[in-house]
Chains A and B, each alone.
Chain A
Amino acid sequence: MAKLNMVQAVNLALRQEMKKDKRMVILGEDVGRNGGVFRVTEGILEEFGEERVIDTPLSELGIIGTSIGLAVNGMHPVAEIQFSGFLYAPFDQIISHAARIRTRSRGRFTCPMVIRSPYGGGIRALELHCESQEAILAHTPGIKVVIPSGPYDAKGLLISAIRDPDPVVFLEPMRVYRAIKEEVPEKEYTIPLGKANIVKEGTDLTVISWGAMLKYTREALEKTNYSAEIIDLRSIKPLDTETIINSVKKTGRCLIVHEAPRTCGFAAEIIAQINEKAFLHMEAPVVRVTGFDVPFPLYKLENYYIPDEKRILKGVEKVMKF
């Protein structure tokens, strides 16, 4: 089995699905000839041709808006938005249309499409190249939001996203695009959407994270003597509440780590779920370690914004010492 990074794993998933599904097309800025700015789509144009790997004009609204039309009429578009900061322009298309077409037409028309976008900070990128919008997206009924934390998951989750009958936003954490290598089977496999992954079992506290933060949270926890149960959400929406609730009922303590700003960040929803479903099992208030409520800073200060080992360990102490 080959050891791949996330870029290679996503590339493999795309190729395999392209081979299998003749109606799948890949479209976006620089995805063809250039193989994508992160090389995620490298070589796919050469293999499948210009009719199925389409270099679009610089037009995010156009990419998503026409992908909706493609999906409605039977194609399976996998659209790339080059950086997640440029998702804001087509938000209108995602929220007002992709998310609602099934409802608006009472199931007569549907929109099975995937929007892939590299997201998050930590790679010294430019302004608006580092956004984490999972909570904004998850707040919209009708779309699914999926975030892999490593190469193995990226392949299996992306294949599920491509085969899903509803629109899926697939956010790829740039910071770990090449930072993690894992065994990724060549053979086709899927990981179901809406199921979280218990990365490591434990008894003292539950730690929930996703995307790039999962790696750094795991590393931080290795420096403690607590037995932490670590959960990777994998899907933000639908949320696997069951796995979370079962875990916190066992541990009685919970820490959530995410990179997005705190207010109305996705931790808030998880805390509300725990509050509703496991309140009496809790030994301590749930603690969250998150980005701050400020615009993502330029790279000289980004490491003060993104939760680091020190802040994560402080969070662990806070929830354990309550």
Chain B
Amino acid sequence: MVKKALETFKVEYLQVLDTSGNADKRLMPELSRNQIKELYELMVLVRTFDDKAFNLQRQGRIGTYIQVKGQEASQVGSAYALGPKDWIFPTYRESGALIVRKHPMHMLLQYWGGDERGLKSPEGLNNFPITIPVGTHIPHGTGVAWASKMLKEKVVTMTYFGDGATSKGDFHEGLNFAGIFQVPAVFICQNNGFAISLPREKQTASKTLAQKAVGYGFNGIQVDGNDIFAVYKVAKEAVDRARKGEGPILIECITYRLADHSTSDDASRYRTKKEVEEWQKKDPIGRLEKYMRKNKILTDKYKEAVIQKSKERVEKAVGDFEKMAPSEPLDIFKYTYAQLTKELEEQMYELTKGEL
């Protein structure tokens, strides 16, 4: 009789910056003072945009909006690790990652204002359009990375999704392919505790989401997703390794959505105020601020200036968004196929002439 353990595994957790703003020097990623300032400025910009978009929705100036609030470190820290030609595959919650990847903010508002043109990634940027059906874009991140490997492009993909998405078949099939074909893909799972109302514990019996990677033959790691240094460090290592051809990785960011699921949701139906307050204390922006103060990178004056500048940029984006020419009704036909079909020509005629 033979009885032996064939495989054991461990899942690492990383936190660099504690909630009081003290960083562990041994774990600190390589970041200059200017880069730290840039990370801070990006997080403040994302928060400012997010709050503004929420207000615009409440005023009826845009439609449904889905907030980032609370997840800024997970999104900014990860997207900041990418190179200029790398790709992101965002969900509806990734305004933060999209802003880091230079997707114009007025176009994000245009999208949430119901105008598809807002999703058109400007030339030179590989921001894949936002995916609404949960998890279904995960195989696309794998596929684009696979093509990058075939074409020897050394370009990496970063695919974002929530804890809920890990229950989908797309997650399994996308990660399984990534493992088999060793593609340069980084998977960022923002575990924000909930999929609308469903708590993380009911999504899977698995102790961590990171460990799911083990089943696909690659590494998974859990990080404090409200600690921008930890997120950046892990993401940067993952991106560098993927670029070198060392395969995919799954990063689980433990974070919390401070807002409702969307502007149509009321989170008080499924979580307590006390829980939200506990997480507010771990706010990623406040935490970095404490660190920067302690290390004399941030002064009140600088902070004021950052907030002011962010407001100006966001206000300008709102102005640009509201000045945009409305889309042409015929625009709905134009991108269905490379060339208009006869049926579509007939239907365009029907729309323009009001005749059948």
Cβ B120 vs Cβ A73 within 8 A: no
Interface size of A by CB at 8 A reads 47
* Interface residue? B315 (CB, 8 A): no
What residue in chain B is nearest A165 (Cβ atoms)? Answer: B338
- A69 to B144 alpha-carbon distance, docked (Å): 4
| Chain A residues with CB under 8 A of B150 | 25, 51, 70, 75
| Chain A residues with CB under 8 A of B341 | 194, 237-238
Interface string of A229-263 (1 = CB under 8 A from B): 00000000111011000000000000000000000
Cβ A74 vs Cβ B147 within 8 A: yes
Question: Looking at the complex, which one of A69, A101, A142 makes contact with B147 (CB distance below 8 Å)?
Answer: A69
Kindly identify, within residues 131 to 145 of chain B, every residue whose CB is under 8 Å from any CB belonging to chain A. Answer: 133, 136-145
Kindly identify, within residues 117 to 174 of chain A, every residue whose CB is under 8 Å from any CB belonging to chain B. Answer: 141-142, 144, 164-166
Question: Looking at the complex, which one of B177, B334, B335, B336 makes contact with A66 (CB distance below 8 Å)?
Answer: B177
For the residues of B in contact with A, the DSSP-based class is: helix
**In angstroms, how far is the closest chain A Cβ from the Cβ of B208?**
23
**In angstroms, how far is the closest chain A Cβ from the Cβ of B89?**
9
* Interface residue? B337 (CB, 8 A): yes
| Chain B residues with CB under 8 A of A295 | none
Cβ B120 vs Cβ A166 within 8 A: no
| Known contacts A57-B176, A74-B151, A109-B121; A66/B338 CB under 8 A | no
**In angstroms, how far is the closest chain B Cβ from the Cβ of A57?**
6
Interface string of A79-120 (1 = CB under 8 A from B): 000000000010011001100011111111110000000000
* Interface residue? B148 (CB, 8 A): yes
Interface string of B126-170 (1 = CB under 8 A from A): 001100010011111111111110110000010000000000011
Cβ B129 vs Cβ A65 within 8 A: no
Cβ B170 vs Cβ A65 within 8 A: yes
Question: Looking at the complex, which one of B116, B140, B335, B336 makes contact with A68 (CB distance below 8 Å)?
Answer: B140
- A18 to B104 alpha-carbon distance, docked (Å): 40
- A144 to B137 alpha-carbon distance, docked (Å): 22
Cβ B343 vs Cβ A239 within 8 A: yes
| Chain B residues with CB under 8 A of A102 | 335-338
**In angstroms, how far is the closest chain A Cβ from the Cβ of B278?**
37
* Interface residue? A43 (CB, 8 A): no
Kindly identify, within residues 221 to 256 of chain B, every residue whose CB is under 8 Å from any CB belonging to chain A. Answer: none
* Interface residue? B309 (CB, 8 A): no
What residue in chain A is nearest B123 (Cβ atoms)? Answer: A108
Cβ B143 vs Cβ A65 within 8 A: yes
Cβ A103 vs Cβ B173 within 8 A: no
Cβ B120 vs Cβ A106 within 8 A: yes
| Chain A residues with CB under 8 A of B120 | 105-108
- A96 to B139 alpha-carbon distance, docked (Å): 13
| Chain A residues with CB under 8 A of B123 | 108
- A107 to B145 alpha-carbon distance, docked (Å): 21
| Chain A residues with CB under 8 A of B129 | 101, 104-105, 109
* Interface residue? B174 (CB, 8 A): yes
Cβ B142 vs Cβ A66 within 8 A: yes
| Chain B residues with CB under 8 A of A66 | 139-140, 142-143, 146, 174, 177
* Interface residue? A59 (CB, 8 A): yes
Cβ B117 vs Cβ A73 within 8 A: no
- A110 to B338 alpha-carbon distance, docked (Å): 9
- A68 to B138 alpha-carbon distance, docked (Å): 11
| Chain B residues with CB under 8 A of A74 | 147, 151
* Interface residue? A180 (CB, 8 A): no
**In angstroms, how far is the closest chain B Cβ from the Cβ of A163?**
11
Cβ B139 vs Cβ A93 within 8 A: yes
| Chain B residues with CB under 8 A of A68 | 139-140, 143
Kindly identify, within residues 17 to 37 of chain A, every residue whose CB is under 8 Å from any CB belonging to chain B. Answer: 23, 25
| Known contacts A109-B129, A238-B342; A103/B335 CB under 8 A | yes
Cβ A73 vs Cβ B148 within 8 A: yes
- Tell which of A70, A72, A75, A239 has the most Cβ of chain B within 10 Å: A70
Cβ B146 vs Cβ A69 within 8 A: yes
* Interface residue? A61 (CB, 8 A): yes
| Chain A residues with CB under 8 A of B140 | 65-66, 68-69, 72, 97
* Interface residue? A62 (CB, 8 A): yes
| Known contacts A106-B335, A242-B342; A65/B180 CB under 8 A | no
- The 6 sampled A-B contact pairs (Cβ below 8 Å) are A62-B174, A65-B142, A68-B139, A103-B335, A106-B120, A166-B338
Other than the known A23-B151, A70-B150, what 4 A-B pairs have Cβ atoms closer than 8 Å?
Answer: A66-B139, A68-B139, A93-B139, A110-B338
Pairs of residues from A and B, 4 with the lowest C-beta to C-beta distance, nearest first: A69-B143, A65-B139, A62-B173, A73-B147
